[in-house]
Structure 1
């Protein structure tokens, strides 16, 4: 492939996480078959896609087991696995640590341990953790600590907290529901002032912003229906212009042009979404981005590598 890349949305599966998916989801977390994985999976894909550096993270349904002690244990296990890979392949692999949300004190402890002892690149937060959505005031102390540490935080969608299994029961959640849940979480964060109150967190919003670029012009209209809303609670366009976005999935020809009406080219980063996105699809999607005439060569250089280099101080 022509462009060298840095990948900020790639996944790993630790042994403990594999057991969790098998025990609780029969290897079908959020309706998706658990892929085979070891670290060589990541390294081989990196070679094929011309990826110089990958920041790996846990995917949906994330690590909340439904019980406190086992959630904390699983967070420790997945983070130790990620830290081990980073230590072994320091010039190729970073990792986003997982937090045992919704457990606040334990999440704060994990933030400091991951940054100070495990050299985590940042953190991955699920849009909701068994129905507790980002933006929920009870998670504010976690946001305060992430803000204090000037953390890089990659959001990742989950299936919705409330899900009617009779609706869209044939289409797996990642195809459509993940887009809605990313949008739902970001709007919830907006109305609870997360972006305004914690400006030192750098957020990466996945999948080219999901549905957010489409509804950005609608959100300010909410004040006509609810005059109690403040301007900050509806200023989605300012929020989006200050966040980062990855290009995981099929972002051409519709999504990326819509997003680029709201952000500048310095805010885009490459994403493969491996191994949940099969390697042939990763190659095809990367080729689409490399070959499109919609983007200039200078733009592509930024999106594929330069923006992430600056973000990660590589």
Structure 2
């Protein structure tokens, strides 16, 4: 590995989250086998991939147990576990706190706790929590609290809130549905004016924007079919230009060049997606980014390190 890296999309599994996946999903959350995990898993991958600092978060499925009190309990457990690891390894480990969405009072309580503690790098929010999508007006108090604290918010896809029977049932959700759910969520956030109403939140959109680079030119055309739409509900390119994007997954050779036509290259961030992405694949994907001719060496340095360094003031 040539480049030192800051990783903004890596995952951890706390004891409580492992039990949640076992009890509610038979260790197959969103169709993915629960990986083995201890903090040493992260540290070992970091050493191999030349990652200086990893910002850890809970992956999918979201921590919503279906009931407010137990979801709050699980949110506190996963956040406490991450804070402990950050305290043990302050030069190597950061974390995005999880919120007990869609439970408003409980989420506001956690935001207050996290803000007071001052340890978290920001928050991770699911595209949807059991069918409640980001952009839903019920979540506006949470968005306002995040805006008031100038929060950094990393989005993470979940399985869609409604599944279509007998369609792609053999294809695990991360392959297709995660991309579709990220895309529909960001467009929903645009439609519901999340980006314009809460401009002090810095969002990180995963997986190089999912399908957004391919559909961005189509979004403004909605005005012709629905004249009631306003400009700020359709300016997807403006919204994308002000947000951050990580490169988790296989973004070469098509996706990343398409994304770079639409966004500020100073807002592109490295991501490994470990441990759900196996270490050999992490290494291969990092090597592909390091050696590709599709982006310049100065941009590679920004992607791997300096953009995140500026964002997180490291």
The normalised TM-score by structure 1 is 0.99
How do 1:92-241 and structure 2 match up within 5 A?
A: 92-117=92-117, 119-241=119-241
Distance (whole Å) between structure 2 residues aligned to residue 118 and residue 302 of structure 1: 26
Residues 69-125 of structure 1: CA distance to partner in whole angstroms, max 9, x if unpaired? 111100000000010001110010000000000011111111121122151110000
Task: Answer yes or no: is the 8 Å Cα contact 1:46–1:52 preserved in 2.
Answer: yes
Dislocated runs of 4+, deviation >3 Å: none
Task: Answer yes or no: is the 8 Å Cα contact 2:242–2:264 preserved in 1.
Answer: no
Q: Does 1:245 align with 2:239?
A: no
Q: CA deviation at 1:35?
A: 0.1
User: In angstroms, what is the RMSD of aligned CA positions?
Assistant: 0.7
SS of equivalent residue, structure 2 residue 94: strand
Distance (whole Å) between structure 1 residues aligned to residue 44 and residue 11 of structure 2: 13
Task: Answer yes or no: is the 8 Å Cα contact 1:115–1:121 preserved in 2.
Answer: no
Gap regions ≥5 residues in structure 1? none
Q: Does 1:296 align with 2:296?
A: yes
* 1:58 aligned partner: 58
Q: CA deviation at 1:264?
A: 2.3
Gap regions ≥5 residues in structure 2? none
The normalised TM-score by structure 2 is 0.99
Distance (whole Å) between structure 1 residues aligned to residue 130 and residue 181 of structure 2: 12
Q: CA deviation at 1:165?
A: 4.1
Residues 139-197 of structure 1: CA distance to partner in whole angstroms, max 9, x if unpaired? 00000000000000000000000012421111100011000000011011001010000
SS of equivalent residue, structure 1 residue 257: helix
Task: Answer yes or no: is the 8 Å Cα contact 2:75–2:99 preserved in 1.
Answer: yes
Distance (whole Å) between structure 1 residues aligned to residue 247 and residue 112 of structure 2: 29
* 1:269 aligned partner: 269
Task: Answer yes or no: is the 8 Å Cα contact 1:128–1:161 preserved in 2.
Answer: yes
Which is worse superposed, 113-122 or 200-209?
A: 113-122
Residues 2-56 of structure 1: CA distance to partner in whole angstroms, max 9, x if unpaired? 0000000000000000000000000000000000000000000000000000000
Task: Answer yes or no: is the 8 Å Cα contact 1:104–1:141 preserved in 2.
Answer: yes
Task: Answer yes or no: is the 8 Å Cα contact 1:206–1:245 preserved in 2.
Answer: yes
Task: Count matched residues.
Answer: 314
